[in-house]
Amino acid sequence: MDFELSAEQAEFRDLVREFARRSIAPVAREWELSGRYPTEIVDEMKAMGLFGMLVPEEYGGTAIDAVSYAIVFEEISRAWMGIAGILGSHSLATWMLAKYGTPEQRSRWLPALGTGERRSGIALTEPAAGSDLQGISTIARREGAHYIVSGSKTWITNARHADPLPVLVKTDPKAEPRHRGMSILMVEASTPGFTVGKDLDKLGYKGTESAEVFFADCRVPVDNLLGGVEGHGLQQALSALEFGRVNIAGRAVGVAQASLDRALAYAGQRRAFGRPIAEFQAIQLKLADMATEVQAARLLTWWAASALDAGRRADLETGMAKLYASEICIKASLESMRIHGGYGYSTEYEVERFYRDAPLMAIGEGTNDILRTVIARRLARDLETG
């Protein structure tokens, strides 16, 4: 077993780390607090080819491996997690297109998505349906060469920039079981009846917008049905979420590592009773636990990514990685805040941003409580099959 990155992966990590250190970290605090959109950072990510991470090379992408994919999200989130969100939803949309799209759909959209000329997201969640995706109420009714889509989605990252936007709909609301009546439509931004609503205010995860989207008798061409066959939408969405848990785990590791970095630096500088607080056992115990848990989360994330790279089913591995890394992220951000004392509660220090960003990772790509049931069911099934 090899727990080290390959030379190519390590070189790639260093490249992304330097980009995050140079172009993201210096502006993160100011832009996050002011609500400024990071246009310049997005442009640099385009030039680096990061929007084409999961786009096959034949369509102009870079098609990196899943471990390198996790590294991108760790290194960027270590500087500013909100920036990672701009890449996260987009990359899942390109992954779905590459895996499930028809040849015409891949040729039509992937080249521009791979360069960032076009960007995307993924529209699954509704006001009354989040963890239970089979409970969505957005309907797509077939009329000749079009689907007439009615409904709404919420918490959609990249909503204002997505073109096209993959949207989970019910093409047969009466189907039993329900998942057989679900499909994904690629909705282009100029489609009549498609509108983007207000940006939703959030505790953290700033830098990218999260908005509502609405479909009022929205006419979507039948050619925009992902894969060209109805009834596979839920499977396509869940497969994307399984892959996406690696990016959420990577983000969590990045924020946890940033929390640890700040705690170590502060503990070495802050003096109490005539010596640095890093010399006090109470602080040392916190730092030791944080460092151990962050590294464990990183290795678990790489393990899950390696399972994806091996091409095997990885819902157990990605579920474990996302669950553990996100819980450690929340814990590390809180412990870092405690080590900073009153300064940790001040917007003058970045620790409070880590504390606000951390909870998202326990919610996104499947809540942790849902993932615990997924893991337990998989364990039980493996036990039954020997």
Residues designated as active site: 365
Lay out the sheet containing 165-170: strands in order across: 182-187, 165-170, 139-143, 146-157, 210-221, 194-199
Task: Measure CA 132 to chain center.
Answer: 19
The string over 149-160, giving b where at least 16 C-beta atoms fall within 10 Å of a residue's C-beta and e elsewhere, is bbbbbbbbbbbb
Cβ neighbours of residue 185 closer than 8 Å, sequence gap 6 or more: 140, 147, 149, 166, 167, 169, 220, 224, 225, 226
Phi and psi at residue 225, to the nearest 5°: -75, 115
Q: Which residue has the tokens 């999200």?
A: 73
Residue 372 Cα distances to 28, 130, 316, angstroms: 33, 16, 10
The string over 206-234, giving b where at least 16 C-beta atoms fall within 10 Å of a residue's C-beta and e elsewhere, is bbbbbbbbbbeebbbeeebbbbeebebbb
Distance CA 363, CA 329 (A): 12
Phi and psi at residue 169, to the nearest 5°: -135, 170
User: Do residues 52 and 120 touch, judged by C-beta distance below 8 A?
Assistant: no
Distance CA 160, CA 318 (A): 29
Q: Is 194 helix (H, G, I), strand (E, B) or coil?
A: strand
Q: Which residue has the tokens 């893991």?
A: 375
Q: 182: which strand partners?
A: 170
- The pair of structure tokens assigned to 170 is 């019910």
- The pair of structure tokens assigned to 258 is 């940033």
Distance CA 305, CA 353 (A): 27
Distance CA 359, CA 251 (A): 11
